[in-house]
Amino acid sequence: MKALDRAKPLEGFWEMLAAAPERLLVLDYDGTLAPFTAHREDAALYPGIAPLLIDLQRQGTHIAFVSGRPARELAGRLPLAGVEIFGAHGQEHLATTGLLTRAPLAPEARQWLDEAARHIIAAGFERALERKHGTVAIHWRREDPEGRARLTDLVTDLAQGLPGGLHGLAFDGGYEFRVRGRDKGTAIAELAARHPRALMAYLGDDITDEDAFAALPRDGLAVLVRTEPRPSRAHLWLRPPDELRGFLGAWMAATR
Ligand SMILES: [Mg+2]
């Protein structure tokens, strides 16, 4: 565990958390709470994380998720009920009531994403494709070096014809084409607006989590969870799973 921002000591955050009228813990899933696996379907929480999350929720901390996965798919992997989830990098919102809403999608953007998906399938990479609302993701973690090189070429070709309403972003283990206007940062801003009295923290591992770190309210805590640190806007870096369990345990102790 290491402070990346000396102006924000963790002890000060725990003191503020103890005194806060409301607490909101926002979490990314893949790479943060669950280690990466060759098959995304196999990604499960690190040992010991589920009971900590259950206890934190019981103790009164609001827990929400912001993930690249579709919101309902993520809901099915969680040990918690009644959590708010922003899925597909903020393109989807699953309320605590179970109501799913999706950001409007322009016909031109939808058509381009459909065509991009067809192009990837036609090149023989259906296994690498993940289709979500407002996004097409290409995963190359499972590919050999030749497959990765071919997928990189495909992505480069597709990026040339990208319409203005879409953009492309690299993530850990792949690349994604996505409708502009929603990201993990807009999800954090919505959560902050809905919980104006809450002290918030966000835990994430990836480049896409930097938008979320940047969107936190001034008193919020941004936590980078990764085996190795990297340049980041986060205030704190933790190495999973031990330091992650330690952080969640300290949250519980501060709010008991
Ligand atoms: Mg992640």
**Using an 8 Å Cβ cutoff, are 134 and 181 in contact?**
no
> From the CA of 9, how far away is ligand 1's center (Å)?
24
Total domains, the chain: 2
Express each pLDDT in 14-72 by its tens digit. Answer: 999 999 999 999 999 999 999 988 788 889 999 999 999 999 999 999 999 999 999 99
Express each pLDDT in 72-103 by its tens digit. Answer: 999 999 999 989 999 999 999 999 999 999 99
Same domain, 198 and 136: no
Same domain, 112 and 82: no
> From the CA of 218, how far away is ligand 1's center (Å)?
23
> From the CA of 69, how far away is ligand 1's center (Å)?
9
Q: Residue 177, class by beta-carbon neighbours within 10 Å (0-12 exposed, 13-18 middle, 19+ buried)?
A: buried
pTM of the model: 0.91
Whole-number Å distance between alpha carbons of 227 and 237: 9
Same domain, 151 and 188: no
**Using an 8 Å Cβ cutoff, are 52 and 38 in contact?**
no
> Per-residue pLDDT averaged across 154-173, rounded?
92
Whole-number Å distance between alpha carbons of 182 and 61: 26
Same domain, 90 and 200: yes
Same domain, 78 and 196: yes
Residue range of the domain that includes 165:
107-179
> From the CA of 85, how far away is ligand 1's center (Å)?
14
> From the CA of 19, how far away is ligand 1's center (Å)?
30
> From the CA of 207, how far away is ligand 1's center (Å)?
8
> From the CA of 55, how far away is ligand 1's center (Å)?
23
Same domain, 83 and 7: yes
Same domain, 152 and 195: no
Whole-number Å distance between alpha carbons of 96 and 207: 27
Same domain, 190 and 170: no
Measured over the CA atoms of residue 226, residue 228, residue 230 and residue 232, the dihedral's sign is positive
Q: Residue 178, class by beta-carbon neighbours within 10 Å (0-12 exposed, 13-18 middle, 19+ buried)?
A: buried
Same domain, 92 and 191: yes
Q: In CATH, what number is assigned to the domain containing residue 248?
A: 3.40.50.1000
> From the CA of 94, how far away is ligand 1's center (Å)?
18
> From the CA of 34, how far away is ligand 1's center (Å)?
9
* Dihedral (Cα; 130, 131, 133, 137), 10-degree rounding: 50
